A and B are shown apart, each in its own frame.
Chain A
Amino acid sequence: KAGVTQTPRYLIKTRGQQVTLSCSPISGHRSVSWYQQTPGQGLQFLFEYFSETQRNKGNFPGRFSGRQFSNSRSEMNVSTLELGDSALYLCASSLVLGGGTEAFFGQGTRLTVV
């Protein structure tokens, strides 16, 4: 079956702009989580959605937001981009909620802010 699909794979934006990243989970998966990966901070949790509801949120400013649609596809938005937002953004999907459930990751969207 198809894996987690993230689009676009690469993106270059200018400071102050906004960006929307998309994630299509594995068919049947209802939980989608987003992570930011940078060389300095490693992998950090952004937020998690289950059945269109945000269930959990990490310690990121309000410029980072997300949503999930009825088909479980998810988008994350970053407004007023800063240079420090340059990172690999990873999306993960899992079948249900609950620790121990395997999370499947997409290949990520590499965002560069100039």
Chain B
Amino acid sequence: GDSVTQMEGPVTLSEEAFLTINCTYTATGYPSLFWYVQYPGEGLQLLLKATKADDKGSNKGFEATYRKETTSFHLEKGSVQVSDSAVYFCALSDQEDDKIIFGKGTRLHILP
């Protein structure tokens, strides 16, 4: 079945560092891809999404490009802030329904 694999955490960076969180997926069809973020004590918030190959999703300085050839959707940000500390989930959704398959999550710590 469909699955998502993302890099293990925690990831600890200093403020203003460059961030990459790797994500690869396995899917039989042509899924939509997402990055969700979960702040402490909160539910999930959609950070960005891409619905077809070569689409780039972006939001709040974060970017990810849907790479069909490498089945990847890596999250990047050029300069992280302390407020970016959270857990990040890569996810996919089949075109037919709303079932979302999540990766295990990557906890990000940003040090001032």
* Chain A residues engaging chain B, CB cutoff 8 angstroms: 4, 6, 31, 33, 35, 42-43, 45, 48, 50, 55-56, 58, 90, 92, 94, 97-108
Contacts and interface: CB of A to CB of B under 8 A. Distances in A.
A55 B94 CA distance: 13
Contacts of A4: 43
Interface string B40-56: 01111110010100000
Contact of A45 (B41, B101, B104, B105): B101
Given A31-B98, A48-B98, A99 B43 contact: no
Secondary structure dominating the interface of B: loop
Given A100-B49, A108-B43, 7 more contacts: A35-B100, A97-B97, A99-B94, A99-B97, A100-B51, A103-B46, A104-B46
B43 A94 contact: no
A105 B43 contact: yes
A4 B43 CA distance: 10
Contacts of B96: 97-99
B46 A56 contact: no
B5 to A, nearest CB: 11
Contact of B46 (A43, A102, A107): A102
A103 B32 CA distance: 12
A5 to B, nearest CB: 11
Contact of A98 (B41, B89, B95): B95
A103 B98 contact: yes
